[in-house]
Amino acid sequence: MKVFAPGYMAGKWLGEDKGYKVKDGLNRMGVQVDPTCFLCGMADESHDHLFFDCCYSKLCVHTLQQCLRVSFPVTYLAGWFKRGHDRSKLQRKIICALHVGLVYAIWKARNKAQVDISILCPEVMIKRVMKDGINRSWARNTGRICQRDLEWLAYFPM
């Protein structure tokens, strides 16, 4: 089963390789912009700040992980995915896909805050990320799903 859709893979690549253009990168390229983060307004916007240190991003990650009933540092996602702990392969793939989807959603929220001067409530964002990620997973599933995974998926309100 392939859980990662092309948009999620692009988001994963851009997030890991610092491909998203943020204010510190624009300033280094000679584009003069106010370096303050659009989402929290408390620090200069950099890749690490936007996706790992921003209080808005941390709240989003914490909310997603509460919904998924997992807890690990986001920077440890790849290691967690390989080891899996007590999760099935399907659950690990979905959890990883939802974290990648969240990176893209944070990027979209940052852009929306820049253009519309409004910030999406983290709980609403997480609900959308989960609905989209789980729907993508169902659409791409070609095999059987065990009872344990069905019970796990039934826990999420869609």
Per-residue confidence (pLDDT) for residue 80, from 0 to 100: 63
pLDDT of residue 25: 59
Give the pLDDT confidence score for residue 77 in this predicted structure: 62
- Phi, psi of 144, deg, nearest 5: -75, 155
Residue that the structure tokens 């001067």 belong to: 117
Among 73, 77, 68, smallest CA distance to 96 is for 77
88: which 2 tokens? 């099935």
Question: Is-contact 32 25, C-beta < 8 A?
Answer: no
HSE at residue 92, side-chain half, CA atoms within 13 A, is 13
Q: Which of 30, 48, 20, 29 shows the shortest CA–CA distance to 114?
A: 20
Whole-prediction pTM: 0.76
CA angle, 24 as apex, 46 and 114 as ends, to 5°? 80
Output the pLDDT for position 11: 47
Give the per-residue pLDDT at 27. 56
Beta carbons of 130 and 98 less than 8 angstroms apart: yes
pLDDT in tens, the chain (158 residues): 444 444 444 444 444 545 566 665 565 667 677 778 889 989 888 888 888 889 999 999 899 888 888 877 766 666 666 665 678 888 888 888 888 888 889 988 988 888 888 888 999 999 999 888 888 877 776 677 888 888 888 877 65
d(CA 148, CA 153): 9
Residues sharing a CB contact under 8 Å with residue 49, sequence separation 6 or more, in sequence order: 37, 43
What is the per-residue pLDDT for 118?
Answer: 84
Structure confidence at residue 135 (pLDDT): 81
